[in-house]
Structure 1
Amino acid sequence: MDFETSDLVQDMILFHCPRSSELPHLDLYMDQVISFISETLNCCYLDADDKILTPAMINNYVKQGIVSPSKNKKYTTHHLMYLIVVCVFKKMLSIPEICALIRIQIQTYPIEVAYDYFCVELENALRNTFLQKEALMPVVATKETDQTRLLRSTVLAFANKLYIQKFIQYHEQYIITKKMSAYLI
């Protein structure tokens, strides 16, 4: 069986990130949140034993201000949205970078719109990467193999991570400059 036809690839191509309207509308206890997010993102982690989310992680995210504290030990759909985004991005970005990304998105869009956009983009990125459909990036290898596709995916990940970091840097600098100019007036 080729990598392209493996269950691993098929899981990525068929991955569905639940939209805001598909998230549980009842508030959940921490263990229910962990179970829901672990089930949702299980295929995005390499090892089934990987801890996608733990109580300690949630408490840490609350302490760092990424996620608001629970109310009466229950978590809302907004908590789920934030935690899903954090669990996906923590594989490539630092916590301050994730906070900045979330802040940028929710300054621009209502949280449900920003989250649903994240879901669509995540699914598209996974499909494009795992189906190798990068139309704008021509194939330069003389023979396409699993290894050449792996290299291509790695450089795309690096390029995308760098793009995100540079965008955050630019946005943060823009806010600082804007605040400084407001003080000078």
Structure 2
Amino acid sequence: MTNLTEFKRWENGISRMHFPKWEELPSLGLYVDQVAAVINEYLTSLGMEPLTKSMINNYVKKKTIQAPIKKKYAVNQIVDLLLIGFFKNTFTINDIRQGILQITAKDYPKQAYDRFVEVLNARLRNEPIPANPNFTPSNEQLMVLGIDAVLAGLKARYLLETMADSNKTEED
């Protein structure tokens, strides 16, 4: 199998990936290990680094995300962690927080996150982004560029790894 064929097979696999909308996330409070499991289900299916319980606890200590109430995390904290996990290999934590604050300044967190999911899922499937005239154009552009940057990095890393593995096989 050629490098490009293997890459296309992987790309086809991630095109079937579906990031959850707000309403699809657990609405009951979850403990940190449950939160990590939910988040990592989505991140690792894209080939991204999982978030550990220690990382999540550090995000709370550094006030990157809100602290859990009675050790239980709500949907808004799960959403923040999904976004951090998705963007963290491409952007700094401060840039991610600033982007979240920028986008939610004019659009409610639920609507902003659901729009992020619509854009991401469309990009994963290489489909046109569904129109949404109610979403601020500059926020939309920021979101699209951020998602494209992350996906381009993921794709380039995967292709590079495939090529490196192929070179190792040829050397053996």
TM-score normalised by structure 1 residue count: 0.63
The answer (yes or no) to whether the contact 1:19–1:115 under 8 Å persists in 2 is yes
Q: Which residue of 2 aligns with 1:94?
A: 92
Task: Look up the match of 2:13.
Answer: 11
Q: Given residue 149 of structure 2, which amino acid in structure 1 is its aligned partner?
A: A
Q: Give the superposition deviation at 1:45.
A: 1.9
C-alpha separation in 2, matches of 1:69 and 1:30? 11
Question: SS where residue 125 of structure 2 aligns?
Answer: helix
Deviation at 1:124, TM superposition (A): 2.1
Q: CA deviation at 1:104?
A: 0.5
Structure 2: which amino acid aligns with 1:11? G
Equivalent position of 2:44 in the other structure: 42
**Could you list the runs of 5+ residues in structure 1 that have no partner in the other structure?**
134-155, 162-185
2:62 corresponds to 1:64: yes
Q: Which runs of 5+ in 2 are unaligned?
A: 129-147, 154-172
Q: Distance in 1 between matches of 2:60 and 2:71?
A: 13
The letter of the residue matching 1:62 is V
Paired-residue identity, %: 32
- Determine if the alignment matches structure 1 residue 109 to structure 2 residue 101: no
**Aligned twin of 2:32:** 30
Count of aligned residue pairs for this structure pair:
130
Partner amino acid, structure 2, of 1:3: E
- 1:144-175, Cα deviation, whole Å (9 max, x unpaired): xxxxxxxxxxxx739x99xxxxxxxxxxxxxx
3-state DSSP of counterpart to 1:67: coil
Q: How much does 1:12 deviate? A: 1.4
User: Which of 1 and 2 has greater Rg?
Assistant: 1
